[in-house]
Homo-oligomer: A and B are copies of this chain.
Amino acid sequence: MSKIVTLGEIMLRLSPEGNSRFVQVDSFDVIWGGGEANVAVSCANYGHNAYFVSKLPKHEIGQAAVNALRRYGVNTDFIARGGDRVGIYYCETGASMRPSKVIYDRAHSAIAEAKPEDFDFDAIMEGADWFHWSGITPAISDAAAELTRLACEAAKRHGVTVSVDLNFRKKLWTTEKAQQVMRPLMKYVDVCIGNEEDAELCLGFKPDADVEAGETSAEGYRGIFRAMAEEFGFKYVVSTLRESFSATHNGWKAMIYNGTDFYESRRYDINPIVDRVGGGDSFSGGLIHGLLTMSTQGEALEFAVAASALKHTVPGDFNLVSIAEVEALAGGNANGRVQR
């Protein structure tokens, strides 16, 4: 059981039921999620002492966000309370050739307007084993970017391993702004997670494969991995490789590089996908658990890929699976027979 810290935003996700479209429903499912919050829940599920650090309003909607995290065992002691609003995203679930659609309404959220004095990063990082953040956090606002930097510095002061999921979001910032903010933060990072697109858009590495077209030739990633490890001194460079056949059918595998060896995981054919949102975060959560508790990067990666494959079958952002379930799948049991 390790102490794992994540920093970011938890949002209220409002989703029509099933495959209904935004304009045809009279109720929204209330789902809570956000990149780093999702990672925290995964880590808590695996038995770790997971902290999610953020800021949320004092009112009941803010409290509901806190409760969602507590429900799944995440420690919320370092969530500052205050600010005006909870970030929202509307999310409609696609099917077949109709993609899922996300509409963000997250500007002016409490964490976007948080200040350094809302957090005592030394207390937060004290005794921590791992600190994880994603490219979404500094993209939220300049204030949040500053918080990210402060958190990274504190992590390094306390000898905490730092991982990042690059996660470029074009609605939040431009490529130019992203690189300007992200590149300086890479010096704090030990484990860098991100597909080729993220690597290009956040860090400026040009991919060799046409990701949008569903090409995921692992070969194409090797050059970039080496270059990234070299430039920023990452201990591990990791990427998931998604093949998008349709909104409900994907191929899913991943690759890791520890500066010496490449390891490519087993591939999963996911069909049907129940909820694709949070898939990448569940990979990060699985990888953190794997690197903290397993002896090889290959074992860690297989755990992460199996965990995130399972996530695609769980409604909501959070990956509500146990170590035993992940290990059963990673161990090869994918036939879906009823567990009685």
Using a CB–CB cutoff of 8 Å, the interface residues on chain A facing chain B are: 14, 18-30, 59-61, 63-64, 67-68, 70-73, 84-86, 88, 90, 92, 94-105, 107-108, 169-171, 212-214, 244-249, 268, 270-274, 276-277, 309-310, 312-316, 318, 320-321, 325, 329, 334-340
Contact = CB atoms under 8 A, between A and B. Distances in A.
- The count of identical subunits is 6
A63 B99 CA distance: 19
B61 A71 contact: no
Contacts of A26: 25-26, 29-30
A316 B18 CA distance: 12
A21 B72 CA distance: 13
B30 A29 contact: no
Contacts of A334: 97, 246
Contacts of A270: 96-97
9 contacts: A19-B274, A19-B315, A26-B29, A27-B28, A28-B28, A60-B92, A94-B336, A97-B270, A213-B335
Contacts of A73: 67, 70
Contact of A336 (B170, B245, B325): B245
A25 B30 contact: yes
Contacts of A23: 60, 63-64, 67, 72, 320
Contacts of A312: 96
B100 A339 contact: yes
A314 B28 contact: no
Contacts of A90: 60-61
Contacts of A18: 18, 274, 315
A334 B212 CA distance: 11
A256 to B, nearest CB: 21
A340 B28 contact: no
A63 B29 CA distance: 19
A250 to B, nearest CB: 8
B169 A336 contact: no
A54 B1 CA distance: 23
Contacts of A24: 315-316, 318, 320
Given A60-B101, A104-B340, A169-B340, A95 B28 contact: no
A97 B329 contact: yes
Contact of A274 (B63, B95, B273): B95
A293 to B, nearest CB: 20
Contacts of A244: 335-337
Nearest to A17: B27
B245 A335 contact: yes
A169 B247 CA distance: 34
A247 B336 contact: yes
B14 A338 contact: no
Nearest to A63: B23
Contacts of A64: 22-23
Nearest to A250: B336
Contact of A99 (B95, B169, B213, B337): B337
A14 B29 contact: no
Nearest to A104: B340
